[in-house]
Amino acid sequence: MKKKERNLKLKISTLMTSILIALINAKTYATTIGTQEVEIATQNIKDAVIKLAMPIGSVLMFVSIVIIAIKLIVNANNPNKRSEGIGGLAWVAVGFMLLSLALIVSGIVLSVATNGSGSMIGS
């Protein structure tokens, strides 16, 4: 039991020492990132959200709405199945809100990173 406790204490102290060294050298790590890398990263975020998320999300929402509409038409006489189809519309609405939130957040991040000027802060 004592050997396990010593091993655990050694692991914890090693972890704490590593964290302390990383915090002391944080300034060194921060200065190694140039504005070019930040510009590339923000452009990649913008491209991923606008060129990938928007078309894929829009197609998925359209297909989901069509499938739910077909289910509602087929189950017009069955109230239980019809209510399940209407519940599916709520999930489509949640997906639409998440996609919109992704666009808003990426717009805010890019606006803050570029200070609204199109070029990076500090460049």
Q: 117 versus 8: which is more confidently predicted?
A: 8
Higher pLDDT, 56 or 24: 56
The residue assigned the tokens 């069509």 is 66
3-state DSSP call for residue 36?
Answer: helix
Share the mean pLDDT of the chain.
75
- Category of 119 on φ-ψ map: left (φ > 0), alpha (ψ -120 to 50) or beta: beta
pLDDT of residue 117: 56
Domain spans of the chain, in order of start: 1-32, 34-123
How far apart CA 16 and CA 69 sit, in angstroms, is 57
Provide mean pLDDT across the span 77-85. Answer: 85
Instruction: Measure the CA–CA gap between 3 and 91, rounded to whole angstroms.
Output: 53
